[in-house]
Amino acid sequence: MARRRERGAAVFVVVLTITLLTAIGVFALRSASLVDQAAGYERQSAQTMYLSEYAGRAVAAEVGAGAARTYIDKVATGTDICNVNKLLDPNALDPNITYLPCYKLFLNEIGNRVNANFNGNTLLSAQTTGAAGSLGPKLDTTGTITPMEGVFVVEMTDPAESTPTPGSAVGGNNPANTFRDVQLTFTAYAQVRPFDAIPDDPWCAGNSLSTSASVTSLRAHVTLRNVPR
């Protein structure tokens, strides 16, 4: 009779043990999933940081490849609206100014220039089933891996003549000199996100994709030497 009364307690202990083991297993799976997600976000964040630096260097190479005068004029006379100065009042600086100097360059514009000079070359390589591309990893045939894409925009602002290189402009920085040194501010915004087949514009993707995007920015002051007036 005593043993018969203990059967309920034994069942309770067994059920409790199974429940605890199940909870531990679920926690372990959840913990492993969170670690994988954190690693993925960290990887995407690093990619975005490097992409912003890449953007700044690519635009600096484009502007410095004999086109400095052209881009300086575009910055000075352009009517693009840049995030870095859109909240400033130009009339507070000069009553005769109606807009602040700004010009934007997007990844697709720089990419077209690269392809025009080096046919078949691209700034970023797409992921395929045979290659990891610039953002990796390789795509699988089942479609479980979401392809990623990187985009950037570089805002060029604040054109100003700077102290000339010694010996490059006799008599100092004045209008009589044939060449001048000009400083520009580059603000690069980079974004890594799931691939958008039909983007809304060269920078923004659809809302459902932008929520999974990582964004970073980088600012640099670039001095262009010996620019013709």
3-state class (DSSP) for residue 97: coil
pLDDT higher than threshold 80 for residue 4: no
Q: With cut-offs at 50, 70 and 90, classify the pLDDT of residue 166.
A: low
pLDDT exceeds cutoff 80 at 30: yes
Q: 27 falls in which pLDDT band (50, 70, 90)?
A: confident
**Both tokens of residue 27?**
């926690």
CB within 8 Å of 148: residues ≥ 6 apart: 44, 127, 135, 192, 193, 194, 195
Number of domains in the chain: 1
The region of weakest confidence among 62-71, 147-156, 164-173 is 164-173
For the chain, give the number of residues: 229
Contact between 150 and 191 under an 8 Å Cβ cutoff? The reply is: yes
N-terminal to C-terminal alpha carbon distance within the chain: 108
Q: Where are the alpha helices (DSSP H) in 65-206?
A: 68-77, 90-93, 107-117
Three-class SS of 121-147: CCCCCCCCCCCCCCCCCCCCCCCCCCC
pTM comes to 0.78
Burial (CB < 10 A; 0-12, 13-18, 19+), residue 127, is buried
pLDDT higher than threshold 80 for residue 62: yes
Q: What is the mean pLDDT of residues 140-147?
A: 84
Asked if residue 211 has pLDDT above 80, the reply is no
| Average pLDDT of the residues in 18-47 | 85
Q: 1-10, 91-100, 102-111, 146-155 — which is least confidently predicted?
A: 1-10
Q: What range does the domain containing 169 cover? A: 2-228
